[in-house]
Amino acid sequence: MASLKSLKMRIGSVKSTQKITKAMKMVAAAKLRRAQANAEAGRPYATRLAAVVASLASRVSVGPHSPKLIAGTGSDQTHLIVLATGDRGLAGAFNTNIVRAARRKAEQLEAAGKTVLFYIVGRKGRPVIQRFYPSAIIAQHDTSAMKAPGYTDAQAIAEDISQRYFAGQFDVAHLAYANFRSTLLQEPTVDQIIPVVPAVNPANDKNAAPAAATEYEPDEEAILAALLPRNVAIQVYRALLENQAGFYGSQMTAMDNATRNAGDMIKKLAIIYNRQRQAAITTELVEIISGAEAL
């Protein structure tokens, strides 16, 4: 049985922890507002750009002169998974869920006989991937000094990935990140970003609405050549924004749960402390009374 002094020290320690978790929850809640606004503001542009690029890709005939980001390498043997996670923990299962989704995708590709490589963005994904795929990590982009995701950071990541693609290091690239839905829900997502997946041709889809007559100036291939590199950067930028909002939402929830658990523990320890204190007082009274009667 723990002594009264040790119980009192433990209650004080839990109270200190509760103050820290409560403060972290308030900080995460304050940062979440801006991060959520940024993610929601960038989402329509990224979604629409991806749809436009996919629509254009379905209209062009792939040939020797087509952009490589749409034509591909002529093979799909080597797949690169760009794993975007956070740099810090104390956010529940946020990072774990993204890594789990990336590993699930890697297992599916390996089951199909494909070679899988990893490009790590953020620090929390590397330890797990290094344990299961020690020789598959080809690069890591450090984002620890990045206070808030910027387009220049996303552009640097996209350019590095594209250069590796043009150099023939891989054939297909997938982007793994967490789609922010709410403070309680961050949906791990794995999207193919290289080469672009063409949209379904309306002529081949009986349920599709008739396509509007559209003329492009200059032509589709010239527009695609300009849009494809930007699309890769925009999709990476969106992943960074979604991840930041998801991280703060998950951290706020985790710290709120930790604060509640600390409160419950304080109540239980206080009950034990009061019972032992009362038992000690009762024992002392009994000893005093017994001594008086003996006299």
Q: Is residue 195 part of a domain?
A: yes
CATH value at residue 156: 3.40.1380.10
* Distance, CA of 231 to CA of 155 (rounded, Å): 10
Name the pLDDT band for 213 (thresholds 50, 70, 90): low
Indicate if 113 and 128 belong to the same structural domain. Answer: yes
Provide the residue range defining the domain that includes 14: 4-20+255-294
Number of domains in the chain: 2
Q: Is residue 29 part of a domain?
A: no
The better pLDDT of the pair 179, 285 is held by: 179
Name the pLDDT band for 208 (thresholds 50, 70, 90): very low
Indicate if 81 and 174 belong to the same structural domain. Answer: yes
CATH value at residue 275: 1.10.287.80
- Characterize 86-95 residue by residue with b for buried, 16 or more Cβ atoms within 10 angstroms of its Cβ, and e for exposed: bbeeebbebb
Indicate if 162 and 262 belong to the same structural domain. Answer: no
Indicate if 158 and 49 belong to the same structural domain. Answer: yes
* Distance, CA of 195 to CA of 202 (rounded, Å): 21
**pLDDT of the residue at 295:** 62
Q: Which residue has the tokens 């991280």?
A: 247
Helix orientation angle between 220-294 and 94-111, rounded to the nearest 10 degrees: 130
Q: Is residue 207 part of a domain?
A: no
Q: Is the pLDDT of residue 97 over 60?
A: yes
3-state secondary structure of 11: helix
Name the pLDDT band for 58 (thresholds 50, 70, 90): confident
Q: Is residue 273 part of a domain?
A: yes
**pLDDT of the residue at 15:** 92
* Distance, CA of 222 to CA of 157 (rounded, Å): 24
Q: Is residue 205 part of a domain?
A: no
Q: Average pLDDT of the chain?
A: 85
What dihedral angle (degrees, nearest 10) is formed by the CA atoms of 42, 45, 46, 47? 120
Indicate if 8 and 74 belong to the same structural domain. Answer: no
